[in-house]
Amino acid sequence: MAEKILWTKSLSKHFGGLKAVDKVNIYVEKGDIFGLIGPNGAGKTTLQNCIAGTYPPTSGQVIYRGKDITGFKPHRVCRHGINRTYQIVRSFPRLSALQNVMVGGVFGARLSEKEARAKALKLLEFVEFPSDPEAKANSLNTMQLKRVEMAKALASGCKLLFLDEVAAGLTPGELVDIIALIRRIRDSGVTILIVEHLMKLIMEVCNRIAVLCFGELLIMDTPEVVTRDERVLKAYLGDGFQST
Ligand SMILES: Nc1ncnc2c1ncn2[C@@H]1O[C@H](COP(=O)(O)OP(=O)(O)OP(=O)(O)O)[C@@H](O)[C@H]1O
Ligand SMILES: [Mg+2]
């Protein structure tokens, strides 16, 4: 069996009386493209935030490569090898594409400026950034920005990458490109956890999926098993699970 690179043990996050995440046990295996799905408000973002250190969990544990990282602050989680891209792209608009990616290398991997620059140029090529590396971020389109975001996250040298809603705002053609890129990143040795509403992307690219509903884990299995599960169909009723 593959190594469990990430493991949440009975992880909970309560906001007052609201159980946003409730005793969730999921594990991501090395080499997975793991999908985290569920209806609006199911707790997907909160679960990610508890793993990445944005919030301390209320209870439970986060184990990363055998080490208990529960409650670590985001920069420390990043130094251990977990990084993320955000749904709302957070590039520095006045910096160039190259400089944005260099930020990941300098702050995420503590590279010198020279090393970060060399790494950033390589990564921009790897993500097939189609434009001039010196182009300002505020002149780029959505797909180009997503490529820059991914290169920036990879520049930290992460081994586990969270992708939040990467498909948002993309055309069908760009979707094909992003799926190819996600696979290429995985093949380069980075395990991937995707939070995504677009079922087409999840079903096509993920080898394992966890479904959250009202903070609880409904099921964790292969796409084939998950799509046939009665509880999942019920949770998504009226939410277009089959059609989108
Ligand atoms: N900081 C917070 N304070 C209070 N309640 C919160 C906070 N963050 C999230 N919640 C609540 O926790 C629940 C889970 O929210 P979360 O954002 O994790 O869901 P989600 O699955 O990411 O939803 P979506 O698909 O809409 O992004 C929701 O009821 C939400 O209103
Ligand atoms: Mg969310």
Chain segment 105-151, per-residue pLDDT in tens:
998 888 999 999 999 999 999 999 998 999 999 999 989 999 999 99
Cα of 162 to ligand 2 centre, how many Å? 13
How far CA 176 is from CA of 119, 155, 163, 171, 205, in Å, comes to 26, 23, 16, 9, 10
Least distant ligand from the CA of 41:
1
| Mean pLDDT, residues 45-51 | 95
On the question of pLDDT at 226 being above 90, the answer is yes
**What's the pLDDT at 220?**
98
Give mean pLDDT, residues 15-36. Answer: 97
pLDDT (0 to 100) of residue 87 = 66
Which one has a higher pLDDT value, 243 or 120?
A: 120
Mean pLDDT, range 25-33, rounded to an integer: 98
User: How far from 169 is each of 44, 85, 101, 107, 142, CA to CA, in Å?
Assistant: 20, 15, 22, 28, 7
Q: What is the reported pTM?
A: 0.92
pLDDT category of residue 244 using cuts at 50, 70 and 90? very low
Lowest pLDDT segment from 24-38, 183-197, 228-242: 228-242
Task: Reply yes or no on whether the pLDDT at 235 is more than 90.
Answer: no
In this prediction, residue 236 has a pLDDT band, given cuts at 50, 70 and 90, of confident
More confident residue, 198 or 73: 73
Whether 166 shows a pLDDT value over 90: the answer reads: no
Ligand 1 center to 165 CA (angstroms):
15
pLDDT class for 239, splitting at 50, 70, 90? Answer: low
The CATH architecture to which 1-81+160-244 belongs is: 3-Layer(aba) Sandwich (3.40)
For the beta carbon of residue 108, count every other beta carbon within 10 angstroms: 21
| Cα–Cα distance, 242 to 226 (Å, whole number) | 12
Which residue out of 14, 22, 37, 44 has the highest number of ligand 1 atoms within 8 Å of its CB and is therefore the one to mutate? 44
List the domain boundaries for the chain: 1-81+160-244, 91-158
Ligand closest to Cα of 21 equals 1
Sheet of 160-164, strand order = 82-85, 160-164, 191-195, 33-37, 208-213, 216-221
Mean pLDDT for the chain overall: 92
